[in-house]
Amino acid sequence: MSRRLVVAVAAWVALAASGTAWAAPMYTYKVVLPDGSVFAMVAPLPADQEWFGWGTMGPVEVQAFRRAHPRSGLYRPGAREPAWTVDWYAYDFEVELAPDGRHLVRRNCYAAAGPADKAVSFFANGRVIRTYTVGELVDLAALGPPGEVYWQGGKAELDDDGLTYHVITADGVRHAFDVRTGERSERLVSRRLAAASLAALALAAVLVALWLVRNGRLKKPS
């Protein structure tokens, strides 16, 4: 799990629990595939308003990149127009690209505990082919009182072959999906993983909340 994902998710949990509104930073980024294709995610705001401290590109590089890649989507080597596009924004720690440049997985790291909230979506050439809700992947009743946050993207990874996507949810279940179809191929239960996931999330939320309070960044809306 990346440092940005840990900080962003923990901050979201801490601020949500305190009733404080928080806008996550947006930034343009790219994913380069083995064949040289580039997946561009363009922040839906002017280039000079991006959060450059979170992305990997600086202001000058972002402006040049956005001129060459004006829309979010996949650009084949040497192509001026994207092979396919997406009309939504997601952070780099929420997106996985298959090596074929056709299939993409989007994981919602900010979903709440509501069973109807989107958790994971699978795309082919920019079009969604399968979406799972939190309720389809997480046994909320087994984790505790309603209203608590038990999703936050889970722990996820893409196999080396780029064909299987794994997610470990807070209830200790490991799910495996075929990225080409979005169909779930495996479901394994581990209560030890559930306890560890919840403990890690709670600790991260507490630490970030303390840091925000200490630095004067946790304020009630006026």
Give the span between the Cα atoms of 46 and 37, in whole angstroms. Answer: 25
Residue 172: per-residue pLDDT: 79
Q: What pLDDT score does 100 carry?
A: 94
Cβ-contact 48, 59 below 8 angstroms:
yes
Kindly tell me if the per-residue pLDDT of 65 is higher than 80: yes
Q: Which two tokens stand for residue 43?
A: 């922040």
Q: Which residues contact 76 (CB under 8 A, 6 or more apart)?
A: 37, 83, 101
* Nearest residue to 52 (alpha-carbon basis) of 16, 19, 70, 28: 28
- Which carries the bigger pLDDT value, residue 66 or residue 10? 66
Segments making up each domain of the chain, as ranges: 27-90, 95-206
This prediction has a pTM of 0.73
Share the mean pLDDT of the chain: 78
pLDDT at 96: 94
pLDDT average, residue stretch 34-54:
88
Across 14-28, 35-49, 113-127, 165-179, least confident range:
14-28
